[in-house]
A and B are shown apart, each in its own frame.
Chain A
Amino acid sequence: MSILVGAQTKLCVSGITGREGTFHSLRNRAYGTAVVAGVTPGKGGSDVEGIPVFNTFHDAVERTGANTAMIFVPPRFAADSILEAEDAGIELIIAITEGIPAHDELRVYNTIKKNGRSRLVGPNCPGILSPGKANVGIIPAAFFREGNVGLVSRSGTLTYQIGNVLAQSGFGNSTIVGIGGDPVPGTDFIDVIGMFEEDAETELIVMCGEIGGDAEERAAEFIAANVTKPAVAYIAGFTAPPGKTMGHAGAIVSGSQGTAVAKAEALESKGVLVGRTPTEVAQAAVSLLGAAA
């Protein structure tokens, strides 16, 4: 098993006719993901290397049975596209777009929550990869192999870094979920950690957090109350000065809120091992898995 994306995924890409959209849609298809449709208003009836393009998500869903959306449109159009996918009944919406206005994210998050029929992952995320099954997004699949580590992260490149060390040690992943670096992620650590806890294939959970917000602190509480599988964590941004946005819109220490120290302490106080470097986290995961094997 894996979570969120797999053999059941039927993907529709919003923005498939753009340069990046085309590139990654074809990469995802080459990996084995069923990319069944694309949406670009005004280009309905055309195709991208055999993938049919529709004017609306509603057409795409009706004609192809798409159940998963990937959002690749520029930030000013992204909220609209996400809400269109939601309105068309798409179950899982993965938003890669970086730079969506915060108030748009607030409106999208609360609308999806109120309607209760879709899950949003991202925005500003690298997507989701279930090695050997499906890749939706921009995660370079070559670094990852099938295995039993569930990985959830606010950062793309740190995920690759940790996944690579795991792979070099002979371990692989059930699913890698990038939840994104924005202030209002559609899906949070606790949602994904809960899914990994239920997933038969996942034997160990690695979470990769960073400064800003309180998602890591809430994850610590959640793990203590609900998770039986071993968990290892990494937190980036110990040296980040307060009040400065460190690349990701959500990575900011506001006053005394959202520091790396507070997050690491919250996790450690609940028995989660927190590695000091990405390499140390991967090594800790390897030693825990080795001990279990």
Chain B
Amino acid sequence: MDLLEYQGKQLFARHGVAVPAGRPARTVQEAVAAAEEIGYPCVVKAQVQIGGRGKAGGIKLANDRAQAQQHAQAILGMDIRGLTVHEVWIESASEIASEYYASVIFDRSAKAPLLMLSTKGGMDIEEVADEDPDAIARLHVDPLVGFQDFHGRRLAYEAGVDADVVRPVGSMLAQLYDVFIEEEATLVEVNPLIVTPERQVKALDAKVTLDENALFRHPENAALRDPSGEDPQERMATERGLTYVKLDGDIGILGNGAGLVMSTLDVVAQAGGAPANFLDAGGGSKADAITSAVEVILSDSRVKAVLFNIFGGITRCDEVAKGLIEAFAQVNPQVPFVVRLDGTNDQEGRRLLAEADLPNVHTESTMDGAAKRVVELAAS
């Protein structure tokens, strides 16, 4: 789960990471009140989970009440690369002497947290990594030992931060590592981490990704989820316990098992089609889960044809067939379906479908054949 900047900063503050004073606001009135309380100059920042907010005009400096009102009005409701701004963060403006970069990453390959520090802050770190990889100091922390002060010193010296801030930068790295471990994050990133002319070290931005599987231990973090920012089909699928990802095309996909569904998307694309979604109905899907899944897929109006690709292992093909028959009774689909049932109880499943004689449902025996068929039907 990705947090908004201000949610990340509030989390930082709880772990002692220095951040500028700020307040969130959902309306222009709230934004002006927040600005008055914080004082001027202040910054009005769009809260959306995407980079490039500044370039898109989503971050503005306000020197007085009138400017705060004007910027809040412009930014609230603004569209930034497809995301609508529902919230702004009003923050005390900071003076900047130096901009650094700091992060803690869940390094799957090394199976350890990776700390990174660079004096090239304020730019895209992947660009820095490409152009000047030596400008980023990296260090793995043994998760059984945890962060030690020497980790902070080594990184600060290696990255070449100003000598007078080696100690405070090291302290901030320790605090960011605390956030990473205690909140069970998979990413904690600060870009830029700034040094002010008064030589204070602050986190001017916050990018935090939390592990969804650990949210049961962090109810206060789980409450930060904002369903209004989610896609309607994805929200509907989450409520029904299905794994759904929206894609750009017009062919609805349902399968069982993440690997098989991913593979189905690829095979459909190879056949010249464009999948509208990834939907894993999961292992052992019962008829009602299938009905539920069909409703989610068809609630997306772009869908012109649907492919069911089931290889029954734990999942039984007769249950899938029953679910599809039930779904047709409830939602009366207007688009063609291609159904490939193979594996456990496949003959029984195919027999049930043949008996039900559902309108515009085509059965195929192979995955490749089913993909070809659904692409033809979507195009016709």
B-binding residues in A (CB < 8 A): 75-76, 99-104, 106-107, 109-111, 114, 126, 138-140, 142-143, 153-161, 164, 181, 183-184, 208, 210-214, 218, 234, 236-241, 244-251, 255-256, 260, 276-279
Q: How far is the CA of A43 from the CA of B111 in the complex (A)?
A: 35
Could you give 9 example pairs across A and B, Cβ below 8 Å?
A102-B186, A103-B211, A155-B262, A157-B255, A157-B256, A159-B259, A213-B108, A240-B278, A276-B270
A-binding residues in B (CB < 8 A): 106, 108-109, 111-113, 126, 142-144, 181, 184, 186, 211, 213-214, 216-217, 243, 245, 247, 255-263, 265-270, 275, 278, 280, 283, 311-314, 342-344, 366-368
Contact B366 A102 (CB under 8 A): no
The closest CB in chain B to the CB of A103 belongs to B184
Contact partner of A156 (CB less than 8 A), chosen from B113, B259, B270, is: B259
Contact partner of B258 (CB less than 8 A), chosen from A103, A246, A256, is: A246
**18 more A-B residue pairs beyond the given contacts A106-B111, A140-B344, A156-B259, with a C-beta to C-beta distance below 8 A:** A102-B213, A102-B214, A106-B143, A110-B111, A110-B143, A114-B144, A143-B343, A153-B259, A155-B260, A164-B343, A208-B259, A241-B247, A244-B278, A246-B245, A246-B278, A247-B262, A277-B267, A279-B368
CB contacts between A and B, total, < 8 Å: 163
Contact A239 B265 (CB under 8 A): yes
The residues of A that contact B142 with a CB separation of less than 8 Å are 110
Contact partner of A247 (CB less than 8 A), chosen from B126, B181, B243, B247, is: B243
Contact B263 A236 (CB under 8 A): yes
Q: How far is the CB of A173 from chain B (nearest CB, A)?
A: 15
Contact B256 A277 (CB under 8 A): no
Q: How far is the CA of A159 from the CA of B313 in the complex (A)?
A: 10
The residues of B that contact A99 with a CB separation of less than 8 Å are 213
Q: How far is the CA of A196 from the CA of B289 in the complex (A)?
A: 38
The residues of B that contact A241 with a CB separation of less than 8 Å are 245, 247
Q: How far is the CB of A26 from chain B (nearest CB, A)?
A: 14
The residues of A that contact B368 with a CB separation of less than 8 Å are 277, 279
Once A110-B144, A156-B313, A161-B367 are accepted as A-B contacts, the answer to whether A247 and B217 lie under 8 Å apart by CB is no
Q: How far is the CB of B250 from chain A (nearest CB, A)?
A: 14
Contact A138 B247 (CB under 8 A): no
Q: How far is the CA of A249 from the CA of B209 in the complex (A)?
A: 13
The residues of A that contact B343 with a CB separation of less than 8 Å are 140, 143, 160, 164
Contact partner of A101 (CB less than 8 A), chosen from B211, B269, B278, is: B211
Once A110-B112, A156-B313, A279-B367 are accepted as A-B contacts, the answer to whether A239 and B275 lie under 8 Å apart by CB is yes
Q: How far is the CA of A213 from the CA of B111 in the complex (A)?
A: 11
Once A156-B283, A158-B257, A241-B247 are accepted as A-B contacts, the answer to whether A184 and B265 lie under 8 Å apart by CB is no
Once A161-B311, A164-B311, A251-B262 are accepted as A-B contacts, the answer to whether A156 and B257 lie under 8 Å apart by CB is yes
Q: How far is the CA of A256 from the CA of B263 in the complex (A)?
A: 20
